Amino acid sequence: MATYHRTQVLLEPWQYGALRALAAREGISMSDMIRRILTNQLRPRSRGTRGLRTIAGIGRDRKASGRDHDRWLYGPPASA
């Protein structure tokens, strides 16, 4: 069984309502929903995720081509 630390968080009314509704839809407690949200936000990101985020919207860039994918994912080539 996991060890938990009790804490107190003050929420704005809209935050409390949204959290309560989301937890109810998922069929879990509000505490469990908060832990899930925190886990998703605080989990270390893989290095590849940053690269994928950098190409979001590339289809709207009229100068980009299929040949540019390495530059978009990994940045410009390192100078020798």
Beta strands in the chain (DSSP E): none
Q: Is residue 26 part of a domain?
A: yes
Q: Is residue 1 part of a domain?
A: no
pLDDT category of residue 76 using cuts at 50, 70 and 90? confident
Q: Is residue 5 part of a domain?
A: no
Domain that holds residue 43: 10-60+68-75
Q: Is residue 3 part of a domain?
A: no
Q: Is residue 17 part of a domain?
A: yes
Total number of domains constituting the chain:
1
**pLDDT tens digits, 40-71:** 888 876 655 556 666 666 666 667 666 767 77
Q: Does the reported pTM lie above 0.75? A: no
Q: Is residue 19 part of a domain?
A: yes
**Which alpha helices (H) appear in the chain, and where do they start and end?**
13-26, 30-42, 47-54, 69-74
